Structure 1
Amino acid sequence: MLPSQRLTAPPGALSPSIPATVWMLGFVSLLMDVSSEMIQTLLPLYLAGGLGASAVTIGFIEGLSVAIATATRFLSGLFVDWSRRSKPLAVLGYGLGALSRLVFPLAATLDLIIMAKAMDRVGKGIRGTPRDAMIAAVSPPEIRGASFGLRKSLDTVGGFLGPLIAVLVMVLMAGDIVAVFWLAAVPAALAMAVLVLGVREPPGTRAGKRADFRLSEALRLNRAVWAVIGIAAIIMLARFSEAFVLLKSLEAGFSPTWVPLSMVIMHAVYGLAAYPVGRLSDRIGHTGLLLWSMAFLVGAHLVLAFAATVPVYVLGTVLWGLHMGFSQGLLGAMIAAATPDMLKGSAFGAFNLVTGAVVLAGNTAAGWVWQSHGSEMPFLLGAGLSLMAMLLLAISARRRRLG
């Protein structure tokens, strides 16, 4: 199936309801994202102010953490396809993420921060593929976009609440970032409880290990899957880490205590957009919505490049949130639609492996450009790459129509 192919229900047919497993996994994502954002929204400030890290170092740490997560996702995807079980791997991944929450508040050096980030990202890498594979397994094709969009929306509710809680704790604790890090362990523990008690292994995935599974087979994904992976790589190259968006907030006039509010705004917009965009993609296809997402990213980069006041900066974060809402859920649904059932884990793993390598290179480059040429230049380069991605998407869509 081509990435832009539409999936529609027969006229007059009622769409199936979203399965309970999707809702439970969404709530797990929500709670873990509350925990993650309580840390991540303040970590760049802690690295720069408390530990004296440069923009290059911050970019490398952010890129390395994503690369670790995505390489791990590839291996976990192979394991899912071989073992035909997803939940145990998801429990392991979320468990590592929860344990890392106890390391961050104790980390007084860059080495310990990198260790905590690595533990968290390994956990994120392990859990991402089996979680997506479970969603794909329980969701009928005609509502796959809605299912992935709902999971993303609930995830971004966590991204909305986490920074709010961080701001509240910063105000009550007189700017004590370490206190925020300690409290982040609570929602992570709740996420583990919901996952263990509320999520069941999808039916049809417990038939035992696949005796016919071959690594070479898993790597021979079809052209439609690689087309989606190529599109995602271009998008990830154009969109570097949100750590740079957070650092830019200081130049726009935010004090450190209120910096997390920028993520509140971004994730509110992201969460409100992801589910309706997912449902819309089930009816009209993906290409047009992805083009809109890149248009929003162009606007975000240009606005943030010259954001010298809080209102201008807020506009940039709104546009960034719209880009995320119009792209993230769609990419997962496109991978699910283009992949045979027995290779979904491998497809999600390959998807994350490729995009992770791109993010590592892009974030490190953005940090170097920031340090060498000022904070405006990374965003201007991001706008140019976004325009290039739009052009390539349009050309690819035109070729599919003509072909």
Structure 2
Amino acid sequence: MYLSTVRSADTARPAGRAKHAVPATVLGLGVVSLITDMSAEMVTAVLPMYLVYGLGVGYLQLGAIDGLYTGATALLRLAGGWFADRLGRPKAVALVGYGLSAATKLAFPAAGSSLGAIGLVIGADRAGKGIRTAPRDAMITLATPDGGLGRAFGVHRAMDTAGALLGPIVAFGLLTVLVGDYPAVFGVSFCLAVIAVIVLAVFVRAPAGTVERSRVRLRAGFALLRQPGLRGTCLAAALLGVCTVGDMFLFVGVQQSAGLPSAALPLLPLATALAFMALASPIGRLADRVGRWKVFLGGHVVLLAAYVVLAASASGWPVAAVVLTAHGVFYACTDGVLMAHASPLVPESLRATGLALVQTGQTLARAAGAVVFGALAAETAVRPAFAIFAVVLLVSVLAGTRVK
């Protein structure tokens, strides 16, 4: 039975039920994302520790790698979104992206200790993510009534984050049982990624109305930016993205600022993932009620508070807990909420392309922010860099309040 069997079209349900039920297509895509994130986080959980303490990578190099990790998805998000609209087959385009990311899991053992090779593998993995993200999010919006988009994205992101939470646990369990057998971790990660591709191909049905080929021109997608609402959203999301420190740096900053042992670094993402998973769905429902852009900006205010804590002279596990919880709240308020805010601003025929435009601007900005933060940390130190970013983020949040 298909995971998305709901009268062939999730949007065709009675209005009363649509307000409460999460479309089965969303749940199916959530299962795919859960398995995929388990696979991805098995590999990436130990990456910051390996780069900083294993290879001796400096802050500037870490910022470049963090920027690559964030920015490698950017331009291919546009390609993935445009092809999904042009072909009318978002599921097929998403399958290509998931498949590419799955294949890279077998390339990590071959990369060894070469920074260039590691960067190439990371770039290919993130390219797969870039291709699949807009078509997947477009499927969520096309399967969900506008009034329930915040909740739908919240449920999907919660399931996605459950995988991010389980991945490091599985990886460390394998390394404990198999005594440091990293190739085994990569092998299991690959198998999980393949399972996710199979689930998407066999059990998730695209929303009705997305299988007809359309004559979507690329310039029609860029013409969407002439609309004040979408243009303002893109610009504000990009401005806030520049002020967002990459995950790798934030976890290193927590470990160093809080004075935690280096061995604790791979465990820090778990706290963020736990907070994100627990709050994504209720915050998504809140965004549907009070306004998605308000919640999106509120998430950045919480992130600002985390930067202030990291910039202060405080240490210990309580400090780490506060910052990591705030980081999870930030993701719950922003990750799916931005897409829920932007999707009603885009016609269905250009939905994947429009969402990709927003995602691309935000992603490129975050990549630039990671590089800038790395340069600041190299010139000063981690704490002053967080203080500077806190000030700039505050200004950006105030500017973001002008978006309606």
Q: Under a length normalisation based on structure 2, what TM-score does the superposition of the two structures give?
A: 0.90
The 8 Å contact of residues 293 and 338 in structure 2, kept in 1 or not, is answered as no
The superposition leaves residues 352-392 of structure 1 with CA deviations (integer Å, 9 ceiling, x where unpaired) of: 22112212211111111112211112211221122112211
Equivalent positions of 1:314-393 (< 5 A) are 314-393=321-400
In the other structure, the counterpart of 1:185 is 190
In the other structure, the counterpart of 1:282 is 288
1:236 matches 2:250? no
383 and 166 in structure 1: CA distance in 2 versus 1, 3 angstrom threshold = farther
Between 172-181 and 33-42, report the one with greater CA deviation: 172-181
In the other structure, the counterpart of 1:262 is 268
| Percent of matched pairs sharing the same residue | 31
Within 2, Cα distance between the matches of 1:163 and 1:148?
A: 23
Equivalent positions of 1:128-147 (< 5 A) are 128-147=133-152
Which residue of 102, 109, 120 maps to 1:115? 120
The superposition leaves residues 25-59 of structure 1 with CA deviations (integer Å, 9 ceiling, x where unpaired) of: 01111111112122222112212233332221121
The 8 Å contact of residues 102 and 193 in structure 2, kept in 1 or not, is answered as yes
In the other structure, the counterpart of 2:11 is none
The 8 Å contact of residues 80 and 86 in structure 1, kept in 2 or not, is answered as yes
Within 2, Cα distance between the matches of 1:181 and 1:315?
A: 32
55 and 180 in structure 1: CA distance in 2 versus 1, 3 angstrom threshold = farther
| Gapped regions of structure 1 (runs ≥ 5) | 1-9
The 8 Å contact of residues 274 and 326 in structure 1, kept in 2 or not, is answered as yes
In the other structure, the counterpart of 1:206 is 211
| Gapped regions of structure 2 (runs ≥ 5) | 1-13
The superposition leaves residues 43-76 of structure 1 with CA deviations (integer Å, 9 ceiling, x where unpaired) of: 1221223333222112112212322201100111
The superposition leaves residues 109-146 of structure 1 with CA deviations (integer Å, 9 ceiling, x where unpaired) of: 11210111011011001100110111111111121111
In the other structure, the counterpart of 2:38 is 34
Q: What is the one-letter code of the residue matched to 1:189?
A: V
Within 1, Cα distance between the matches of 2:41 and 2:50?
A: 14
Q: What is the one-letter code of the residue matched to 1:291?
A: L
In the other structure, the counterpart of 1:310 is 317
Q: What is the one-letter code of the residue matched to 2:108?
A: F
Measure how far apart 1:174 and its partner are: 5.0
Within 1, Cα distance between the matches of 2:18 and 2:47?
A: 46
282 and 176 in structure 1: CA distance in 2 versus 1, 3 angstrom threshold = same
In the other structure, the counterpart of 1:219 is 222
Q: What is the one-letter code of the residue matched to 2:310?
A: L
Measure how far apart 1:14 and its partner are: 6.7
CA RMSD of aligned residues (A): 2.1
The 8 Å contact of residues 310 and 386 in structure 2, kept in 1 or not, is answered as yes
In the other structure, the counterpart of 1:169 is 174
Measure how far apart 1:345 and its partner are: 1.4
In the other structure, the counterpart of 2:88 is 84
In the other structure, the counterpart of 1:5 is none
Within 1, Cα distance between the matches of 2:250 and 2:283?
A: 24
The 8 Å contact of residues 154 and 285 in structure 2, kept in 1 or not, is answered as yes
In the other structure, the counterpart of 1:7 is none
Structure 2 residue matching 1:191: 3-state secondary structure = helix
Measure how far apart 1:216 and its partner are: 2.0
The 8 Å contact of residues 68 and 119 in structure 2, kept in 1 or not, is answered as no
The superposition leaves residues 259-279 of structure 1 with CA deviations (integer Å, 9 ceiling, x where unpaired) of: 222111111111111111111
Within 2, Cα distance between the matches of 1:82 and 1:36?
A: 29
The 8 Å contact of residues 171 and 257 in structure 1, kept in 2 or not, is answered as no
The 8 Å contact of residues 276 and 331 in structure 2, kept in 1 or not, is answered as yes
328 and 256 in structure 1: CA distance in 2 versus 1, 3 angstrom threshold = same
Q: Number of matched residues?
A: 386
